[in-house]
Amino acid sequence: MNAFQQTCLQLAKSSILEEFGLGDPKKIKLNDEQFGQKRACFVTLKMNNELRGCIGTVIPYIKLSQDIIANAKNAAFQDPRFNSLTMFEIENNDINI
């Protein structure tokens, strides 16, 4: 995994943890100019290899960093197919972003 991909994952994870008072995506160092460009992305969450949430955008309208933050939170807490992600799930399961 390259530095850009690692930063994407850190940004998504920190955004989700921020909802529990445990993360701060503003502290993630954005190491690529793409984060400041209008880009679109999807964030998919899997728990124990099963889909747990997936939200994204197809048309770029905001900076990539903002889109990752919004889509990570929405995948974790707003996907209508699932209940909101809980801290218990985070602590006790294999969650992949």
The beta-strand segments (E) located in the chain are: 42-47, 50-56, 95-96
CA pair distance 87, 66, nearest whole angstrom: 23
Q: What is the pLDDT of residue 94?
A: 85
Q: What is the pLDDT of residues 22-39, one digit of tens each?
A: 999 999 999 899 999 999
Q: What is the pLDDT of residue 40?
A: 97
Kindly give the parts of the chain with pLDDT less than 70.
none
- Provide the whole-model pTM: 0.95
Q: What is the pLDDT of residues 39-50, one digit of tens each?
A: 999 999 999 999
Domains within the chain, CATH numbers bracketed:
3-96 (3.30.700.20)
Q: What is the pLDDT of residue 14?
A: 97
